[in-house]
Amino acid sequence: MRHAIRPKEPPLWSNRLYLRLPRPEIAYVKFILESYDNLAFMSVVDRFEALLCLTFSPNQEQEVRELVARLEREIELRELPVPIKKTQEPISK
């Protein structure tokens, strides 16, 4: 009797990568991501500062980082640390 191979469970959360680049390059990065079969979802966090957020599956982190490394050779691109959400402190009486 053959034992069925249990498929991997899909990840529950997505990973994020924040990038800063020159404003004119935003459309280029979007075009490149689309050409990679939407490897990551790109959202513009701040269009004036040209701050992007790439959201992707943790299973594809290596591919996303390789793509970002290739883009760094073409355009001025800088990875930023993921912002940490501050929790509100309770109001004292």
Tell whether 87 is covered by a domain: no
The CATH number assigned to the domain holding 36 equals 3.30.70
Q: What are the tens digits of pLDDT across the range 49-82?
A: 999 999 999 999 999 999 999 999 999 999 998 7
Kindly state the tokens that stand for 22.
């020159």
Tell whether 2 is covered by a domain: no
Residues ≥6 apart with Cβ < 8 Å to 21? 29, 50, 52, 75, 76, 77, 78
In the structure, what pLDDT confidence band is assigned to residue 91 with cuts at 50, 70 and 90?
low
What is the total count of domains within the chain? 1
Q: What are the tens digits of pLDDT across the range 13-61?
A: 899 999 999 999 999 999 999 999 889 999 999 999 999 999 999 999 9
Model-wide pTM > 0.95: no
Domain region containing 51: 15-80
